[in-house]
Amino acid sequence: MSFNPFPIGMHLHVVTCFGDHFTGEVVTYEHSVKMLMLRCRSKDDDDAVASYNQCLINLDFCKDLTILQEAKIEAEPPARLNLQRLDHRLEETMEQRKLMLQTRNEYATPRGRQLFRLLSQQFGPNELVWRQSKIVVLQQLTIVPPYRMCHILGAKRNSKLLHYVQRLIEQLDKQANSN
């Protein structure tokens, strides 16, 4: 058994270099990455019902650490984390953030960003490009502000892609009218 400086059940008070204060019970400690998980009492709970938050603290950014109470007994370690599930969640979150960043354009209106988001859900984010305030779809269609059906350029009038994009714009209009 290896030495664990923060056994499960120990109560600590931690101050980070950012000025955050955490007081709680050690849930786990990972020595290789110097990460400490504390079970901290929620700040917005009432006295009748106690609720807790799990706080991850990187000890590289720790300014002060005070032991408030030693662990009473060596508790059994928590269940192992499902790393594949966590990796999958991380990938999904990163993809969502990447998509949100792609919708950002300083020249586009909020409606343009909303349309870009809708189109990227249908075609995938790699098939859309911003050119100033214009949206280019599959390198075939260009939608110019104010992003209405009559503002689609570059396709034959009976193109399947054109009709599909027009239906998506119609769907966006219906959503906007219902709100």
Residue 8 has what pLDDT? 87
Cis peptide before 146 (omega within 30 of 0): yes
Over range 81-88, report the average pLDDT. 88
Do 57 and 118 lie in one domain? The reply is no
SS3 57: strand
Over range 75-88, report the average pLDDT. 81
Residue 157 has what pLDDT? 64
Could you give the C-alpha distances from 128 to 95, 110, 116, 118, 162, in angstroms and in order? 15, 17, 8, 11, 14
Residue 124 has what pLDDT? 82
Query: Does any domain span residue 5?
Result: no
The answer to whether residue 96 scores a pLDDT higher than 90 is: no
Do 90 and 55 lie in one domain? The reply is no
Tens digits of per-residue pLDDT, 46-55? Answer: 665 678 889 9
Residue 47 has what pLDDT? 61
Query: Residue 60 belongs to what domain range?
Result: 11-69
- Band of residue 10 on the pLDDT scale cut at 50, 70, 90: very high
Do 162 and 138 lie in one domain? The reply is yes
Do 91 and 172 lie in one domain? The reply is yes
Pairwise CA distance, residues 33 & 124, whole Å: 36
Contact in structure between 71 and 26 (CB atoms under 8 Å): yes
Do 113 and 147 lie in one domain? The reply is yes
Mean pLDDT of the chain: 86
Higher pLDDT pick, 134 / 99:
134
Q: What is the pTM of this model?
A: 0.48
Do 94 and 158 lie in one domain? The reply is yes
What is the β-pairing status of strands 152-153 and 128-131? unpaired
Residue 74 has what pLDDT? 63
The answer to whether residue 2 scores a pLDDT higher than 70 is: no
The answer to whether residue 106 scores a pLDDT higher than 60 is: yes
Over range 79-83, report the average pLDDT. 82
Higher pLDDT pick, 107 / 88:
88
Do 89 and 170 lie in one domain? The reply is yes
Where is the domain boundary, 69, 91, 110?
A: 69
Query: Does any domain span residue 2?
Result: no
Residue 158 has what pLDDT? 63
Into how many domains does the chain fold?
Answer: 2
